[in-house]
């Protein structure tokens, strides 16, 4: 776009050179459309006046812009807010210049005025574009449909676009959002159909808001460039008993909905709960137990086995609950930290299903121990063994018998729960192919066996359907007695 030497806009500035797409880049096209009978003219959407728009190979919007400025002031301001300010300033200068000519001003007709303020039809293309933008906002931000009825949202919408009328929630949840879902699902289906092998994760949990149970099913895909992608194929309401047969039925149902043959399922990662294991095995899918869940089980077993540690953690939980369940106590703790010139922090409560949450709870208690001690008399409760607890976990160099026993118990449970890890092809091959580890992570006596197994797997893959050993029904075998250190690399 060229500029004249004096900085004033010329007709050539608005012209589109040959070869450039007819995309209406100028704001003036908000109020004009090309005349189908005369390609060198455009019709005003407000008054239907034919206005010159240049030739087909060299468009110009200057005449259309002047028409808007002269006949449709309101629309001109919407299309060219900056130009309007500049025009007003220029008009003030012209008032003091006798030689200057004032632009021709005409008053809008009643019909033109009414047309400019008329609300768009619900299926007007301009309105539909906004419908979909709102629908995507609801989906992405997980907003309730009743946002369409909120006064604040409607006021905001009327300011952004006065001619747009916010539709009702029924229109959004029966027309717009379902269509957005259908389009997104189609794209995901196309991606899933192209994958020869797909891995999945699944979990069952209960919402803390309404105590409803849900089951999720997530697919993990690899692109041609080996970048990982994951997509939740289903998050399903799961009423009734969570039996193995019920879980089997839901898994089969989800696979069928997405046209995924079981022969394309590489493996399914889930926790080691008996009902989950039974459901996956009944569905004839390859199960790989969740590593984090095994850590959680080993931790819980170790805590229960060591009474001293278990009692100390129970006391710590009671202290945290004493604060977090009382707004008054929380405020006192906050005030103490403010007096010390610190940014206030809250005590953290551990969560039964997250093994590392206990560590974070104790870590935060240790950080705030002086304030907890100072408030012990104010909130009228005694903290038995608090200092002993903090000292117990604070010592890193001097180990007493209780902690040694706990560590030994934890180590024993970890080794028991992961004793067959090296025997599972899924884990073994993944480690073997990782350039950081290769053969170094295996026992020396297992090197030749590992190489032989992997070679056979490659050959089988080329000749026919490969077979990988996965953990099958780990709950059916009894937990072996501890036999001392296992020959597994640290």
d(CA 119, CA 112): 14
Contact 268, 287 (CB under 8 A): yes
Contact 235, 214 (CB under 8 A): yes
Q: State the pLDDT at residue 216.
A: 93
Low-confidence residues of the chain, pLDDT below 70? 1-25, 81-108, 110-116, 377-403, 407, 410-411, 418-423, 437, 440-444, 463-490
Q: Structure tokens of 236?
A: 């399903």
Q: State the pLDDT at residue 53.
A: 83
Burial (CB < 10 A; 0-12, 13-18, 19+), residue 59, is: buried
Q: State the pLDDT at residue 387.
A: 38
Q: Structure tokens of 38?
A: 């005369």
Strands 198-206 and 58-59: unpaired
Query: DSSP string covering 131-144, please?
Result: HHHHHHHHHHTT--
Q: Give the predicted TM-score (pTM) of the model.
A: 0.55
Tell me the three-class secondary structure of 254-266, residue by residue: HHHHCCCCHHHEE
**Tokens 């449970």 sit on residue:** 413
Helix, coil or strand: residue 433 = helix
Q: State the pLDDT at residue 402.
A: 58
Helix (H) or strand (E) holding 288: strand 287-289
d(CA 202, CA 400): 41
Query: DSSP string covering 197-233, please?
Result: -EEEEEEEEE-TTT--EEEEEEEEEE-TT--EEEEEE
d(CA 57, CA 284): 65
Q: Structure tokens of 112?
A: 């033109």
d(CA 29, CA 23): 10
Give the torsion through C-alpha atoms of 220, 353, 272, 310, to 10 deg: 150
d(CA 196, CA 36): 51
């Amino acid at each position: 776009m060229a500029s004249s030497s004096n900085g004033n806009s010329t007709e050539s500035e608005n012209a589109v050179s040959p070869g450039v797409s007819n995309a209406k880049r100028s704001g003036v096209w908000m109020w004009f459309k090309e005349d189908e009978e005369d390609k060198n003219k455009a019709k005003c959407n407000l008054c239907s006046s034919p206005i010159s728009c240049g030739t087909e190979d060299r468009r110009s919007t200057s005449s259309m812009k002047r028409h808007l400025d002269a006949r449709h002031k309101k629309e001109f301001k919407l299309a060219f807010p900056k130009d309007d300010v500049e025009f007003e300033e220029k008009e003030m200068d012209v008032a003091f210049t006798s030689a200057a000519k004032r632009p021709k001003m005409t008053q809008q007709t009643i019909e033109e005025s009414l047309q400019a303020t008329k609300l768009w039809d619900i299926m007007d293309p301009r309105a539909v574009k906004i419908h979909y933008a709102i629908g995507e906002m609801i989906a992405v931000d997980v907003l309730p449909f009743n946002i369409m009825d909120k006064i604040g949202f409607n006021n905001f919408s009327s300011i952004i676009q006065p001619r747009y009328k916010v539709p009702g929630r029924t229109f959004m949840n029966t027309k717009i959002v379902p269509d957005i879902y259908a389009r997104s699902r189609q794209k995901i289906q196309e991606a899933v159909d192209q994958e020869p092998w797909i891995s999945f994760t699944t979990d069952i949990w209960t919402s803390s808001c309404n105590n409803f149970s849900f089951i999720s099913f997530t697919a993990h895909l690899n692109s041609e460039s080996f970048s990982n992608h994951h997509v939740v194929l289903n998050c399903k309401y799961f009423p009734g008993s969570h039996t193995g047969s019920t879980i089997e039925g839901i898994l089969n149902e989800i696979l069928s909905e997405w046209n995924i043959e079981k022969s394309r399922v590489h493996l399914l990662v889930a926790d080691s709960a008996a009902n989950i294991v039974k459901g996956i095995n009944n569905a004839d899918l390859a199960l790989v137990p969740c590593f984090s869940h095994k850590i959680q089980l080993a931790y819980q077993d170790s805590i229960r086995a060591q009474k001293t540690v278990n009692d100390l953690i129970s006391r710590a939980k009671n202290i945290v609950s004493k604060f977090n369940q009382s707004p008054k106590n929380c405020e006192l703790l906050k005030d103490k930290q403010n007096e010390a010139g610190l940014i206030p922090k809250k005590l953290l409560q551990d969560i039964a299903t997250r093994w590392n949450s206990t560590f974070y709870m104790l870590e935060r208690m240790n950080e705030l121990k002086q304030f907890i001690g100072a408030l012990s008399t104010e909130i009228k409760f005694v903290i038995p063994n608090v200092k002993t607890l903090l000292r117990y976990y604070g010592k890193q160099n001097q180990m007493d018998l209780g902690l040694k026993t706990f560590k030994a118990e934890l180590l024993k449970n970890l080794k028991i729960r992961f004793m067959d890890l090296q025997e599972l092809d899924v884990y073994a091959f993944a480690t073997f192919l990782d350039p950081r580890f290769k053969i170094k992570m295996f026992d020396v006596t297992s090197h030749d066996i590992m190489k032989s197994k992997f070679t056979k797997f490659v050959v089988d893959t080329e000749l026919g359907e490969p077979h990988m050993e996965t953990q099958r029904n780990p709950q059916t075998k009894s937990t072996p007695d501890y036999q001392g250190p296992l020959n597994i690399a640290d």
